[in-house]
Amino acid sequence: MVNEVGTRRDSRQLILQAAGREFGRYGFAGARVDRIARSAGVNKQLIFYYFRSKAGLFEAILRSLADTILDSAAPADAEGTPAPLEQLRTTIGRIWETFTAQADLLRAALLAGREDGGSRAPLHEALRPVADRIGALVSWGQGLGYVRDDLEPGAVAVQVLATALGYLSLDGVLGERRPPDHETAIELLLRPLTW
């Protein structure tokens, strides 16, 4: 039984990896489940067993991106550093790293709502827990007096995510200019939050 569970998890992960590449390259509309199955080395029906549909697979990939961000270990109180600010720093850094590593997939996700008339928002739903984490950390920092109390935590969360996604969508428009490295981005986003 342990081997079967391990095999299932491996197959599921292989499918998610292959699907991430496929959706990143072809977008939601152009991605093909048969190519994903071939790339993952699994039967096409296994994809439908795990994810029910192409849309379900796409949503699972986006949730796994959010899980990657949320699973990052935020440091506890570091000596002389307020815990909420350090955790915000870690979370923003993880967002930046994850979004940069998965830029093609995220661009496809940004367009996915438009491909079906805008009725679905899989990226928004997937990133909601990330926004909630940022909002909670901002609120915690406000309660301790480390973060400005004239800011609305939800608006800060939206600003952080919109900034990271905005850099991805402007790639190529910026010409020779490149988005800031993640350390610079963290400072640009954190500095206005503190007193």
Specify the pLDDT at position 174: 57
pLDDT digits (tens, 9 = 90+) for 62-109: 999 999 999 875 555 555 556 888 899 999 999 988 998 898 898 888
Q: How confident is the model at residue 116 (pLDDT cuts 50, 70, 90)?
A: low
Q: Alpha-carbon distance 71 to 48, whole Å?
A: 27
- The domain spans of the chain are 58-193
Q: How confident is the model at residue 119 (pLDDT cuts 50, 70, 90)?
A: very low
Instruction: Spell out the CATH class of 58-193.
Output: mainly alpha
Cα–Cα nearest to 137, from 78, 70, 65: 70
